[in-house]
Amino acid sequence: MHRHASESINQADALLFGRVTYEMMESAFRSPNVKQVGQDQEDLFTRSINAAKKYVVSSTLKHVDWNAVLVHGDLDEAVRQLKSESGNGLFLGGLKLPLALAELGLIDEYEFVVHPRLAGYGPTPFAGLSKFVNLKLVDQMTFDAGAVAMRYVPRN
């Protein structure tokens, strides 16, 4: 899983996070916060996310660092501009921001990873979406631990 996530981050031009996801990822993976980075798969992810350019959508943050730039203003306009500058695409994470971008029709590809664990609690991705987004499966990958990553594109 960590190798797959590292490869996805490395292929993207930048990461696009909302405030909560940015702060969570920064606190967990920013180099000074990580005790020692070795050669295992989680360490590869740590190196990838530390090196990646990041855009942070927030109306409350005044400053970001960790290779990050704040995105202000109209979300639709700002993300369209970032996408027009992008060559390989943006890697998106979080809950609220993907919902907002799905509403705007700005997500070109979705990846869902199903883990073999029933939790019985937690956030529901895309809760509150105002319309159906019909998807077409374009790829899937099964990991050794039993998780399955499925990539979809919106059907037009």
User: What pLDDT is attached to residue 103?
Assistant: 97
User: What pLDDT is attached to residue 2?
Assistant: 82
Asked whether residue 38 carries a pLDDT value surpassing 70, the answer given is: no
Mean pLDDT of 43-57: 92
CATH no. of 2-154: 3.40.430.10
Mean pLDDT of 25-51: 76
Percentage of the chain lying above the pLDDT 90 cut: 77
Q: How is the chain split into domains, by residue range?
A: 2-154
- What tens digit of pLDDT does each residue of 56-115 get? 999 999 999 999 999 989 999 999 999 999 789 999 988 999 999 999 999 999 999 999
What φ, ψ does residue 146 adopt, rounded to 5°? 100, -5
Lowest mean pLDDT among 1-15, 21-35, 69-83, 110-124: 21-35
- What tens digit of pLDDT does each residue of 135-152 get? 999 999 999 999 999 999
Q: In this structure, what is the dihedral angle of CA atoms 128, 113, 2, 96, given to the nearest 10 degrees?
A: 0
